[in-house]
Structure 1
Amino acid sequence: MNYKFFPLLFVVLLTSFTSLPNKSNSTTITPETTVSSVSKNVSIYNQLDANSFVLPNFDCFNTALEGFYLLKQKGLITKNILTLVDFSLSSNTKRLWVIDLEKNTILFQTLVAHGRNTGEEFANEFSNQAESFKSSIGFYATGEIYNGKHGLSLKLDGLEKGLNDNARERAVVVHGADYVSESFIKQNKRLGRSQGCPAIPVEMNEKIINVIKDKSCLFIYHPSKNQEILAKLAS
Structure 2
Amino acid sequence: MNGFLLVIIIVLFTSFNPTKTANKKMPEKMRISQQAYSEVEAMYHRMQLASTLNFKAFEQAMAGYTQLADTDKGIITVIDFTLPSTEKRMYVIDVENEKLLYHTLVSHGRNSGENYATSFSNENDSHQSSLGFFRTENTYFGGNGYSLVLEGLEQGINDRAKERAVVIHGAPYCSTRVIASTGRLGRSYGCPALPVELAKPIINTIKEGTLLYIYADNTQYAYQSAILKRHHATLLAQRSMDERAESNIF
- TM-score (norm: length of structure 1): 0.80
Q: 1:85 corresponds to which letter in structure 2?
A: I
Q: 2:61 corresponds to which letter in structure 1?
A: A
In the other structure, the counterpart of 2:210 is: 216
Indicate the larger mover: 98-107 or 223-232.
Answer: 223-232
**Judging changes above 3 Å, is the alpha-carbon distance between structure 1 residues 54 and 205 closer, same or farther for their aligned structure 2 residues?**
farther
* Separation in structure 1 between the aligned mates of residue 66 and residue 72 of structure 2, nearest angstrom: 10
In the other structure, the counterpart of 1:67 is: 64
Contact 1:139–1:159 (CA<8 Å) still a contact in 2?
A: yes
- Deviation, structure 1 residue 154: 0.2
Q: 2:17 aligns with which of 35, 42, 50?
A: 35
- Deviation, structure 1 residue 49: 6.0
* Separation in structure 2 between the aligned mates of residue 42 and residue 107 of structure 1, nearest angstrom: 19
In the other structure, the counterpart of 1:120 is: 114
Report 1:102-113 matches (<5 A). Answer: 102-113=96-107
* Separation in structure 2 between the aligned mates of residue 232 and residue 82 of structure 1, nearest angstrom: 15
SS class of match (2:41) = helix
Rg comparison, structure with higher value: 2
More helix by share: 2
Contact 1:95–1:111 (CA<8 Å) still a contact in 2?
A: yes
Structure 2: gaps of 5 or more residues: 1-7, 20-36, 231-250
Contact 1:92–1:111 (CA<8 Å) still a contact in 2?
A: yes
**Judging changes above 3 Å, is the alpha-carbon distance between structure 1 residues 39 and 103 closer, same or farther for their aligned structure 2 residues?**
same
Computed over aligned residues only, the root mean square deviation of the Cα atoms, in angstroms, reads: 2.4
Q: 2:38 corresponds to which letter in structure 1?
A: S
1:57 aligns with 2:54: yes
- TM-score (norm: length of structure 2): 0.75
In the other structure, the counterpart of 2:33 is: none
Contact 2:63–2:228 (CA<8 Å) still a contact in 1?
A: no
SS class of match (2:120) = coil
Q: 2:183 corresponds to which letter in structure 1?
A: K
SS class of match (2:39) = helix
In the other structure, the counterpart of 1:231 is: 226
- Deviation, structure 1 residue 142: 0.3
Report 1:44-193 matches (<5 A). Answer: 44-48=43-47, 55-72=52-69, 75=70, 77-193=71-187
SS class of match (1:167) = coil
- Deviation, structure 1 residue 227: 1.9
Instruction: Give % identity.
Output: 43
C-alpha offsets along residues 13-39 of structure 1, whole Å, 9 cap, x if unaligned? xxxxxxxxx979xxxx88x74436971
SS class of match (2:199) = helix
SS class of match (2:17) = helix
SS class of match (1:113) = coil
SS class of match (2:67) = helix
* Separation in structure 1 between the aligned mates of residue 223 and residue 17 of structure 2, nearest angstrom: 20
Count the aligned residue pairs.
204
In the other structure, the counterpart of 2:3 is: none
